[in-house]
Structure 1
Amino acid sequence: MKSLTYLLLFLISINTGLTQEKNLPKDFVYIKEQIPDIKLDIRYAGSNNFIGKPVNSYQKPVGILSKPATEALEKVQNDLMSQGYCLKIFDAYRPQTAVNHFIEWARNPADTLTKAKFYPEVAKKDLFQLGYIASKSGHSRGSTIDLTIMDAKTGKELDMGSGYDFFGDISHHNTDKITKEQKANRSLLKRIMIKNGFRPYPEEWWHYTLRNEPYPETYFDFPVR
């Protein structure tokens, strides 16, 4: 009787989409399942981000990527682990609904709660023009990642010269506003990411996209959960 009950519960979970696999379209995976020792700090699932609150469609602090991007990221992680480092992920796949939330926030000039921390020298009205916010994001195609490097033993992030999602020149790859050590840390990340098939975004040291991404023209909108 007990076995029959478990079978019925399993069938119900499948039919109602409660199994984890049912949350994702084909060829998408949870990063942690593929790379268990990677660290996650999914900022848009909480309030430590430039909006100052959880972003729409981020229902859980999990990282999702296309399978090819995850496989390439695993190679990056292995390279870094051999040197005593580890990857920390800030964001991966991003639903279009979340991007729409960014757009709504950017169009509200009265909401400057996070300005001092994330964009002290940039006018909020200029965030679109300067390329910090877009109506379509590469993240929604499922093969773009925001990340940094941390010490595998201490868990301390390497000093990159600016924080994640800081909107300003100091976050650009070609900035002259950072120290030699900070530049070397960025170069380490950039070199290993490029080696394993990712391309950098000039304005954001943390942002990389798989060169041969599987869905270059598709913008997904399933929730992060």
Structure 2
Amino acid sequence: MWRPGHGRRRYAGSGEPAGRRSCRTALALLLVVVAAVGLDRSATGATPSATAHREARLVVLSDVDPRILTDIRYATAHNFVGRPIAGYSEPLCLLTRTAAEALRRAQDAALAHGRSLKVYDCYRPQRAVDEFVEWARQPGPGRMRAEFHPRVAKSDLFAKGYIGAPTSHSGGSTVDLTLVDVPPRSQPAFDPGQPLVSCIAPPQQRFADNSVDMGTGFDCFDPLAHTGSKEVTGAARDNRRMLGRLMSDAGFVNYDSEWWHFRYRDEPWPGRYFDLPVARSSTR
């Protein structure tokens, strides 16, 4: 069923033989859904159509508000798959103009509290979602599990709503983000040779993201990342509430299983899933 205000479809069952059959069925259903809602690909599927460029009307967030920090994880190897993801040609945040302007209002409010927004992911091309689906179908736990989903099996990530196909990100008005103190602390580069640390570990042990403490790391597929988790207390709870207020006041709706995920309420392309690459060329 659809989660209200989220734009993700949840599928049950994967992993065991019956689960693999369910996953194949789910993937077939996904293709039908994508075709029905009008996924914007060219006839060959290799190059996005000119119509998609015109209709999506994406902008680079830094052109609208250069004050907002970016840390586009899917353009790097520091994500739950462990490699740069298909379609992320450049480490940019692309959004529809209406969503970008709303995010600028949220940034104004954040700065008034001595904080800045930092985005992890914005528009997500459909080919990236397809890669997530294929990754989830592969046997084995995934080499990044120790950091991103230590308590949830990879085969359960779709059923539990942590990964969605299709996703509202592909419509260009959904953003994953956090808060950082102003001025922001430095953040070391991800070293794939270092041991992974669980995203639910205490903040001083997790990857040294310069985010304020939100109770978990970004893309932490765990019940502790649910926005209203009662296990998250103190400063982390207060930080989640501040982020929620800032984004709600700017017109965004949170997905309650992920404290970082917000969809612009009045998105211009509800139910549309574009496949333009994450690149400046997709804004022209």
TM-score bracket for this pair, using the shorter chain length: 0.7 to 0.9
Correspondence for 1:208 = 262
Task: Write the distance in 2 (CA, Å) between the matches of 1:26 and 1:109.
Answer: 35
Task: Write the distance in 1 (CA, Å) between the matches of 2:135 and 2:54.
Answer: 27
Equivalent residue in structure 1 for 2:217, among 157, 163, 175: 163
Deviation at 1:41, TM superposition (A): 0.2
Correspondence for 2:136 = 106
| 1:196 and 2:226 are equivalent in the alignment | no
The AA in structure 1 aligned to 2:245 is R
Deviation at 1:158, TM superposition (A): 0.8
Cα deviation, 1:148-190, whole Å, max 9, x if unaligned, reads 0001213331100000000010000121222221100000000
The number of residues matched between the two structures is 204
Equivalent residue in structure 2 for 1:174, among 215, 228, 238: 228
| 1:218 and 2:272 are equivalent in the alignment | yes
Change in Cα spacing, 1:24 to 1:81, as seen in structure 2 (3 Å) is farther
Correspondence for 1:20 = none
In structure 2, the gaps of 5 or more residues are 1-52, 186-209, 280-284
Task: Write the distance in 2 (CA, Å) between the matches of 1:139 and 1:163.
Answer: 20
**Which of structure 1's runs of 4+ aligned residues deviate more than 6 A?**
none
Task: Write the distance in 1 (CA, Å) between the matches of 2:226 and 2:56.
Answer: 34
Q: Let me know the Cα RMSD of the aligned residues.
A: 1.5
The AA in structure 2 aligned to 1:203 is S
Change in Cα spacing, 1:86 to 1:222, as seen in structure 2 (3 Å) is same
Structure with the larger RCO, 1 or 2 (CA within 8 Å, 6+ apart)? 2
Q: Is the 8 A contact 2:178 2:211 kept in 1?
A: yes
Task: Write the distance in 2 (CA, Å) between the matches of 1:92 and 1:43.
Answer: 10
Which structure has the larger Rg?
1
More strand by share: 1
Task: Write the distance in 2 (CA, Å) between the matches of 1:117 and 1:203.
Answer: 18
Change in Cα spacing, 1:159 to 1:74, as seen in structure 2 (3 Å) is same
Q: SS at the partner of 1:88? A: strand
Cα deviation, 1:111-166, whole Å, max 9, x if unaligned, reads 51001000010011111100111220110011000000001213331100000000
Correspondence for 2:120 = 90
Q: Is the 8 A contact 2:141 2:153 kept in 1?
A: no
Query: Higher mean Cα deviation, 81-90 or 206-215?
Result: 81-90
Q: Is the 8 A contact 1:105 1:111 kept in 2?
A: no
Correspondence for 1:33 = 63
Task: Write the distance in 2 (CA, Å) between the matches of 1:27 and 1:154.
Answer: 31
Change in Cα spacing, 1:24 to 1:49, as seen in structure 2 (3 Å) is farther
Give me the TM-score of the superposition, normalised by structure 1.
0.87
User: Aligned residues: percent identity?
Assistant: 42
The equivalences for 1:44-59 within 5 A come to 44-59=74-89
Give me the TM-score of the superposition, normalised by structure 2.
0.70
Task: Write the distance in 2 (CA, Å) between the matches of 1:211 and 1:26.
Answer: 17
| 1:128 and 2:128 are equivalent in the alignment | no
| 1:141 and 2:171 are equivalent in the alignment | yes
Q: SS at the partner of 2:79? A: coil
Q: SS at the partner of 2:229? A: coil
